[in-house]
Structure 1
Amino acid sequence: MENLFFRHNDNLFVLKKKKVPQSFAFEDLKTPIEIQKIVISPLKFTSEKFVHDALSQIQKENTVSNALVSAQKALDVLQSLDIFRTASISFDSKSKFPFFRDRGCKMNVLIEEKKKGPNLHLSGGVSGDGMSINASSRYNNIFGKGERFDITADLMKNSNSFFLNFTKPILSKTKLGAYGINFGIFNFLRDNQNTTFKEKVNGFSLTLSNQLLRNYYVKKIFGIGHNTGLHTLNYSFELREICKLDDVASWEIREESGASFKSLLSYDFALDKRDNACFPSKGFFVHTSNKIAGLGLGTKFFKTETRAQVHFPLLKDISLGLIGHCGLVTPFSKKGKVGILDRFYKGGPLPIRGIDGNSLGHKIQREPKSEKEKSPFDYFGGDAYGFFTSLLTYKLPFFKDKGVNLGAQMFLTSGNLVSATSGEGSYFSKFKKIFTKRKTTAGIGIAAYLGGNRVELNYSIPVKNINRKIKNPIFLINLDID
């Protein structure tokens, strides 16, 4: 909860976020102001100097309007640290109307801190792979300057992971903003869909980001930064292993099995100007990711990906979204090779609805794992992809009064994943396959905003089957973070 307060004599005016109270006249916002003193409520776990540094820019402002803008930014920074339950700022002036006629005023900062000790969260679920258990623990504000220590573990039947992270916020002295430096150690065993091997990874990462979010993992993986530019610089070093091969695994997979190193430097940028991250009706979103591997030991390649959206309102509660995804990975040298673990694997909810996970791209037929498995393949992913989606959304009026957001949608997606840097033929002929041999799906569905994420229930069919008997419709529930 964030509010700004202006108190004059015995009157208290509350300025809610991005709204101007009726008691304020436009001329009052232009009135000169001089903040003579900053008073911070007693703090038990947090350094007062650390909080004061976050507020120092406000004291430099010379008008009510500028002080108001800086105070709101400071509140956003303090709340992003996830160490305070509430934070509010009040400007206390003895002047009568118009406000701040004598310029001098005192700024009061009221903060309610969260407990400093560790907390433990346990959750579980049941899926096609069996039961899964997630355990996480966070220790906030370790040294009183917003530091954070996280431990997360996911235990599943075929895939396990362990993450250890330390995050240190750094407050900018030149402008209001928070930078975060994060050190992480991780270990996980992954069983990707439609593969006949498991991937074991041990490594560490160092990340510098210009914005802190409460959910660090969502930020790191998807690079989402609402209404602001997000820059993330990351270095990671991994020891990877293709292991636990199935008896029916193809020779091409067995040839790449074993351990390998990856030293990776990556830069991500995201800009989100949508009016709503879950059900946007206007605005745009863009996210780019560029990676260079081979700074030291291990495999050497360059990898780039871009996601973009633009949304247009058509009628009341009806909007059209145009969404694009593209990517390319290529080795540094002509004789180089991009391994199985570093290629793109597409299918499933994103970026193309109605296609089985990881089932696009290069594939080789193999022996079936069981009698029930028909036409089995080993999937090897691809080196380049491009997908385009047209999405028509209607916000449903049901349960609005209960704070539930629902939307009906129609979609058409087309594109493909191809092998662009291996085999015979020119680059142009390989990229041409994205368009000439594109996969296209269409469908309808329901989308809901649950737990901070967009969840969809879709009925998808391949477009080529629309004029025939529909043999392979796909009824799919997916989690869409776009």
Structure 2
Amino acid sequence: MPRRRANVPAPTAGKVDLTKLPARVDRVIVSGLSRTHNDYVMKAAEGLFKVTNFQDVMLEAMNANSYLNELGIFKEVNIKIDVSHAPDATPNGYEVTFKGKELSRLVGSIGTEVGQNEGSLRTELTIPNIFGRGESLALQGSYSSTRANDVTLKFWKSFFHTRLFENRPEFSLSVFRHIDRMDISSFQNSNLGLMGDFSISTFFPFQLRHSFQYESSVREISILGKSVPFAIREHCGPRLASVLRYIVGYDQRDNPVFPSQGIMVKSTSEYSGLGGNISYMSNNTHAEVSVPVIGGIVAQLCGRIGIVNPTKSSSDLPISNLFYVGGPQTLRGFRFGGAGPRVDGTAIGAQSYWSAGFHLWSPLPFSGVFKGLSNNFRTHLFYNLGNFNSFTTENMRSAAGIGLAFKLAQRARIELNYCVPIQKYQGDKTVNGFQFGIGYEFV
């Protein structure tokens, strides 16, 4: 029996208008499923069965391909669109086949990770798609020669196959051990505990990403030297924390590293005191606004504010939850913690702080000659100001300078700035000259 051909008009000198080619999808096939249940991938076919022309077939096939890749079960997915040749084929009918290759039963990776002013080596072993609906179990570890080291066993489950697909709901449960060295304050914080997280996006009145977390952990502070002030020693020992955490983010920037326009706001609120012997409430909010000026120059205004208060008059704030003002992420021209309160020359952290920055970002000179490479670089003029334990400009610190920034991957950047402290006070630890910074949220 000869194969039926699609009803395609003869080519003309101009472009073919695919919207005028009637088409419908008779069958959608997802092959390569060995451990995955069929109902987990069925949502990929919903849009394809609603098409009326060949252009929609192609667009919906691409959307379905993106959706299948987001499910976390395939290493790769290929698309094949063919004329439907089944016995019950309809006129102008097509078959769309997605040929997937599932992830191995054990996946390992090793690489680097960027934190706030530190880099670390990260390894991960993952068992993907455990029960056939996108569940995964991962053992993650990171090591930094400067500050933080952690080990995490994490179970993750997405609900992308449900009606809430556009809201990207996710759930995770983690057992973790986190060690954070604060050499500037001569103490180390060890945190062993359990955390549950549920994340979801909402779109009214504007797009927000929400994360609801609960953490139960044992936090132990130990000193790193002999001559440590009593203001730090009194915080030593194990404590039990029971923390509710809410993180909300709004991000409409056109680029997360070097935006030319857009607004970003991220706020983290915590309440500790449901149990245990650590009681506090805190909030830390970061925001930035970018506006194009002329000739590729972008004006950017950044700000950050944080506050932590005890919820019981008899309880002391844990020193590991206080804020350290100074450094590339909060106040350039000052060392990390160099603009905060000190006891016997040792930084002890602040109960509140604010900082702001104004930048003029510009492409490199002659950027048109080295288009691919120069897109990863920017120069900037900046002016930073901030204060701690006071929301006024009295005793405010400030600095200005010029710098070069390099985009690292798609989220972080490296900065090399020449800083000139303008307002400083006795006891501050400043950097009058070059300062290096690495991270993903700068002021």
Give the alignment's TM-score, normalised by structure 1: 0.75
| Residues 113 and 122 in structure 2, CA contact (< 8 A), matched pair in contact too | yes
Say which SS state the counterpart of residue 353 (structure 1) adopts: coil
Is the Cα contact below 8 Å between 1:70 and 1:176 reproduced in 2? no
Residues 109, 199 of structure 1: alpha-carbon distance in 2 compared, 3 angstrom cutoff:
same
Q: 2:128 aligns with which of 124, 140, 153?
A: 140
| Equivalent residue number for residue 32 of structure 2 | 42
The equivalent of 2:106 in structure 1 is 117
Q: 1:322 aligns with which of 294, 301, 313?
A: 301
**Structure 1 CA distance for aligned equivalents of residues 29 and 123 of structure 2:** 40
One-letter amino acid of the structure 2 residue matched with residue 355 of structure 1: F
For residue 387 of structure 1, what is the aligned residue in structure 2? Answer: 355
Sort the Cα spacing of 1:473 and 1:141 in 2 relative to 1 into closer, same or farther, 3 A: same
Aligned to 1:444: 402
CA contact (8 A) 1:165 1:182 kept: yes
Counterpart in the other structure of 2:385: 414
* CA deviation profile, 1:62-101 (whole Å, cap 9, x unmatched): 666887776655444433344434335566567xxxxxx9
| Deviations, residues 336-390 of structure 1 (Å, cap 9, x unaligned) | 432212212232221222221123332111xxxxxxxxxxx22221122211111
Larger relative contact order (Cα-Cα within 8 Å, sequence gap ≥ 6): 2
Distance change (3 Å), C-alpha of 1:154 and 1:40? closer
Which shifted more, 392-401 or 285-294?
392-401
2:197 alignment partner in structure 1: 207
Structure 1 match to 2:211: 232
Partner of 1:152: 140
Alignment correspondent of 2:163: 174
Match of 2:76 among 58, 79, 86: 86
Structure 1 unaligned residues grouped into runs of 5+ = 1-6, 12-21, 95-100, 212-226, 366-376, 419-429, 466-470
What residue identity is the alignment partner of 1:201? Answer: N
Give SS of 1:447's match. strand
> Is the 8 Å Cα contact of residues 446 and 458 (structure 1) preserved in structure 2?
yes
CA distance in 2 between partners of 1:287 and 1:248 (Å):
38
Kindly provide the CA deviation profile for residues 290-346 of structure 1, in whole angstroms up to 9, marking residues without a partner as x.
111112223122111211111111112211111111122122244543221221223
The residue number in structure 1 matching 2:12 is none
Does 2:264 correspond to 1:294?
no
Match of 1:478 in 2: 437
Please tell me whether the aligned partners of residues 158 and 190 of structure 1 are also in contact (alpha carbons under 8 angstroms).
no
- C-alpha change, 1:124 and 1:68, in structure 2 (3 Å) is closer
What CA deviation, in whole Å up to 9, does each residue of 1:413-469 have, x standing for no partner?
111122xxxxxxxxxxx433xx2222111111111112332221111121248xxxx
Matches of 1:79 and 1:306, distance apart in 2: 33
For the pair 1:431 / 2:391, whether they are aligned, the reply is yes
Aligned residue for 1:252, secondary structure, equals: helix
> What is the rounded CA distance, in whole Å, between the counterparts of 1:176 and 1:155 in structure 2?
35
Tell me how far apart the structure 1 counterparts of residues 113 and 321 of structure 2 sit (CA, whole Å).
Answer: 30
Structure 2: gaps (5+ residues):
10-14, 85-89, 425-429
> What is the aligned counterpart of 2:235 among 251, 256, 268?
256
Name the structure 2 match of 1:378: 346
Matched, 1:331 2:302: no
If the length of structure 2 is used for normalisation, what is the TM-score?
Answer: 0.81
Checking the alignment, whether the CA contact within 8 Å between 2:265 and 2:286 is kept in structure 1 is: yes
- TM-superposed CA distance for 1:49, in Å, is 2.7
Match of 1:405 in 2: 376
Q: Distance in 2 between matches of 1:456 and 1:176?
A: 38
The answer as to 2:329 corresponding to 1:350 is yes
Please tell me whether the aligned partners of residues 333 and 421 of structure 2 are also in contact (alpha carbons under 8 angstroms). Answer: yes
Matched residue count:
410
- AA aligned opposite 2:388: L
**Percent of aligned pairs with the same residue?**
25
Shifted more, 404-413 versus 74-83: the winner is 74-83
Work out whether 1:183 is the aligned partner of 2:151. Answer: no
Paired amino acid for 1:205: M
1:281 positional shift: 0.5
Aligned CA RMSD, in angstroms, stands at 3.5
Q: Which residue of 2 aligns with 1:280?
A: 259
Q: Is the 8 A contact 1:172 1:179 kept in 2?
A: no
